[in-house]
Structure 1
Amino acid sequence: MTTQPSDAEAVRHWWRTSIIDMEPGRIAFRGHPIEKLIGNVSFPQMIWLMVRGDMPTTDQAALFETALVAGVDHGPQAPSIAAARMAATCGLGLNNVMATAVNMLGDVHGGAGEQCAELYFDIADRMDAGAGLEDAVRDGLDAWRAEHGKIVSGFGHRFHKPVDPRAPRLMALVRQAAAKGTVSGRYADIGEAVQAELGHQRGGRPIAMNIDGATAVIFCELGFPAPLSRGLFCLSRSVGVLSHGWEQMQQGGRNKGPMPPQYFPLYEAKDDDR
């Protein structure tokens, strides 16, 4: 005879979590009492602890933090930032302003880091199967394009040509971390090999590794699964979203659209309109 759980047990077992243990007078994250975390861990360490379940070393947290810092903002020409500022002029609160922007971070704008990490992991798998770096990169790019099209996420930038100023600095920090043994440097090799191969395929014209390509190197080096690259980017970019939303609130303005009111979108008449 099967024993049915009590109502109290059924409620208690409705959600299961190893993230937080909370009851009146007690809060513990991943087994760490909150009062021992406050004042003793940094915000990047706290993000790592919550997502991964363990505490990073000081050097791991420092490298992780560089990726979070690098991605905070790229100005109002970024659709998510523009949307946040427009939302602020519509009278929304900061939480709604931030949600408006974060909800726009999709596959095209915001998802490139995840896609690039998937490419890096695929190339690493090919190397594990016996391919050399150059062959793994070429085959990985061929497979990528067959599935996703010609644009390779993490490389190229509509403004920063041929160098995205964020990427070289991040890659230098990865190399420093690899020299200390904090990371292997394997994904830095892969990322730079992809960049070189893309330049070769462009007839020798260099192409920028952009912020997504560089942060994907860091997240892969630190062992974060590819989907977390997007979530971590959302955390990072939320800082810029908050800043722009708050600034727009201070500047004022009502119902600001995507272009000044004296300009109108182009009307394209159809044949049956004439």
Structure 2
Amino acid sequence: MSTTDRPYTELCTHSPTSIHYRDDNLAQDILGQRGFTDVLFSQILGRRPDAHDLRVLDAALVAIMEHGLTPSAIASRMVHMSSPENIQSSVAAGLLAVGSQFVGTVENCAVLLRGIIDAPEGVEAAARAVAQRYREERRPVPGFGQHLHRPDDPRAARLLAIGREHPQFEGHYLRAIEVLAREVDAAHGKHITINATGAVGTLLGELGVPPTLMRGFAVISRAAGLVAHIAEEQRRPTGRFIWDLIDHEIPYRGAGEGHNKARDGR
């Protein structure tokens, strides 16, 4: 293998007297001078963000950090009850739920938008085809729909407004989701809101994050929220209540007798 073919990294190196993150000396150039979001942006994307980039990325990360007692938070709390000495296992359990149904739809929506942007037939026609296909297949469009917020998800509206205020964005993702939203409404004959993950996928796309990395940003954000759930669990435990609730509310059906035996004759 030649020297040009050998694997290499640009992320970090160290000497007896220094540590570098990419080209920056950690002790001299970063610590106490640059924030966490700034550094994670640089490490992942390989370029320094400006103040507008940081404002957008901070907003996106904060918007999906906390979703209440959703499956990821419940998983973290239950694992913490079982293994309180390993907080990392509790966080990891919750992060495993960042998938195609919750939070991970950031990636799903961005893939759709990227396809619309790149479509040879143009944004309008491509968005119309996507909306009609999902309607015919009776599937929710990734990044759209919210069962609590009407008529619009307030997080999405604010995030997209922040994105439009960025002076250097090319606007391809912002235009694609705007056109797709119009076509989704037309296909369904009613208004369906862009949700928070749809808006986050749009903003990450404008920042230059490849769709295949977007779920990683969702994981970074959600990890902070899960630590908060574990902190609350340590102060005010819910794990045993959740366990008991399920144990009593999910009936047993079979020949055996027990406290949760189904009594409805089925």
Residues 179-218 of structure 1 aligned to structure 2 (within 5 Å): 180=167, 182-203=168-189, 205-218=190-203
Structure 1 vs Structure 2 CA RMSD? 2.7
Cα distance in 2, alignment partners of residues 185 and 159 from structure 1: 29
Residues 107-256 of structure 1 aligned to structure 2 (within 5 Å): 107-126=100-119, 129=120, 131-141=121-131, 150-177=139-166, 180=167, 182-203=168-189, 205-252=190-237, 255-256=240-241
Cα distance in 1, alignment partners of residues 157 and 146 from structure 2: 14
Contact persistence 2:145–2:195 (CA under 8 A): yes
Q: Which runs of 5+ in 2 are unaligned?
A: 256-264
Return the letter of the residue paired with 1:47.
L
Deviations 1:15-57 (A, max 9, x none): 7321101232221011111011112212111111110112111
Return the letter of the residue paired with 1:153.
P
Corresponding position: 1:57 with 2:43:
no
Cα distance in 1, alignment partners of residues 194 and 143 from structure 2: 6
> After the TM superposition, which of the residue ranges 248-257 and 215-224 deviates more from structure 2?
248-257
Cα distance in 2, alignment partners of residues 191 and 103 from structure 1: 28
Cα distance in 2, alignment partners of residues 73 and 59 from structure 1: 23
Cα distance in 1, alignment partners of residues 96 and 31 from structure 2: 30
Corresponding position: 1:263 with 2:248:
yes
Return the letter of the residue paired with 2:149.
H
Cα distance in 1, alignment partners of residues 48 and 97 from structure 2: 31
Return the letter of the residue paired with 2:209.
F
Return the letter of the residue paired with 1:84.
S
Return the letter of the residue paired with 1:217.
T
The total of aligned residue pairs comes to 253
Cα distance in 2, alignment partners of residues 262 and 102 from structure 1: 25
Cα distance in 1, alignment partners of residues 230 and 60 from structure 2: 22
Shift of residue 123 of structure 1?
A: 0.3
SS class of match (1:27)? strand
Deviations 1:180-213 (A, max 9, x none): 2x2122211111211111111111x111111110
SS class of match (1:216)? helix
Contact persistence 1:154–1:214 (CA under 8 A): yes
Residues 77-88 of structure 1 aligned to structure 2 (within 5 Å): 78-88=70-80
**Structure 1 pair 189–261 and aligned structure 2 pair: CA distance change class (3 A):** closer
Q: Percent identity?
A: 28
Contact persistence 1:82–1:258 (CA under 8 A): no
Contact persistence 2:135–2:187 (CA under 8 A): no
> After the TM superposition, which of the residue ranges 250-259 and 101-110 deviates more from structure 2?
250-259
- TM-score, normalised via structure 1 length: 0.83
Cα distance in 2, alignment partners of residues 209 and 90 from structure 1: 37
Corresponding position: 1:18 with 2:10:
yes
Using CA pairs under 8 Å that are at least 6 residues apart, name the structure with larger relative contact order, 1 or 2: 1
Shift of residue 260 of structure 1?
A: 2.0
Which residue of structure 1 aligns with residue 258 of structure 2?
none
